[in-house]
């Protein structure tokens, strides 16, 4: 790419209206060029191989493959492509997951158009951009004690969510298509990791700290 070439941008969001709005935004800048769109992470990975963008604007909450998984795949397969997360969520866990996956920026969807454009240019130059909320989340994660259940696996969070619904072990096994012994093992791990001695305590902590499984993004 020469100095006069625009930055090639791929938009990834499962909402058509969001993509349309971003597409219109990009048209306002001569140095930015929309080269493709994707409605989920799997499409984003394929589009990167097809359109060779410089920067990807990546939503997090999407069907089929979420933004974190897509970011990780894109950075592994196309390390020259930079990814900026553009999302409505700034949960510190999501911020950390996105940055660990290789995202160079993290912006919220209420960001100003000019700020998004600046972030795209900065990403193309290898410079990070973080929304203030994302920075605060990272600081809180680094300085504060981890919340109860922070080390639960995704499957353990799924089991915990079903405990919150009031399901017993056989019902959980049927819902998740796993054996009862596996459910029992997961429940034991959940109690140990959360530092509680009963399902009731685990459910109470889960509701207090919103320890639901990650959404299918």
Whether pLDDT at 216 is above 70: no
Same fold, 7-143 and 154-209: no
Q: How far is CA 80 from the centre of its chain?
A: 20
CATH of domain 154-209: 1.10.10.10
pTM above 0.85, yes or no: no
160-196 per-position pLDDT tens digit: 999 999 999 999 999 999 999 999 999 999 999 998 9
Whether pLDDT at 144 is above 70: no
- Report the topology of domain 7-143: Rossmann fold (3.40.50)
Contacts of residue 208, Cβ cutoff 8 Å, sequence gap at least 6:
none
Phi, psi of 116 (to 5 degrees): -65, -45
Calpha distance 8→10 (Å, rounded) = 7
Spans of all domains in the chain: 7-143, 154-209
54-66 per-position pLDDT tens digit: 999 999 989 889 9
Name residue 196's beta-bridge partners.
none
**What element of type H or E holds 24?**
helix 16-27
Calpha distance 46→137 (Å, rounded) = 31
Q: Output the CA angle 67-161-211, nearest 5 degrees.
A: 65
């Amino acid at each position: 790419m020469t100095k006069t070439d625009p930055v090639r941008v791929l938009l990834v969001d499962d909402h058509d209206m969001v993509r349309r709005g971003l597409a219109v935004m990009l048209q306002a800048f001569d140095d930015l060029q929309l080269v493709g769109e994707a409605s989920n992470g799997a499409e984003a990975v394929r589009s990167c191989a097809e359109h060779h963008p410089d920067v990807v604007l990546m939503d997090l909450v999407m069907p089929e493959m979420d933004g974190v998984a897509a970011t990780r795949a894109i950075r592994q397969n196309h390390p020259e492509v930079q990814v900026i997360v553009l999302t409505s969520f700034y949960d510190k866990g999501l911020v950390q997951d996105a940055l660990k996956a290789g995202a160079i920026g993290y912006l919220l969807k209420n960001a100003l158009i000019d700020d998004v454009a600046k972030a795209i240019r900065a990403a193309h130059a290898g410079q990070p951009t973080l929304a203030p909320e994302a920075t605060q989340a990272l600081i809180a994660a680094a300085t504060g004690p981890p919340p109860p259940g922070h080390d639960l696996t995704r499957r353990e969070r799924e089991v915990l969510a079903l405990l919150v619904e009031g399901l017993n072990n056989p019902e959980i096994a049927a819902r998740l298509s796993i054996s009862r012994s596996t459910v029992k093992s997961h429940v034991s791990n959940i109690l140990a990791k959360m530092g509680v001695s009963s399902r009731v305590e685990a459910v109470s902590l889960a509701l207090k700290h919103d320890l639901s499984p990650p959404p299918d993004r």
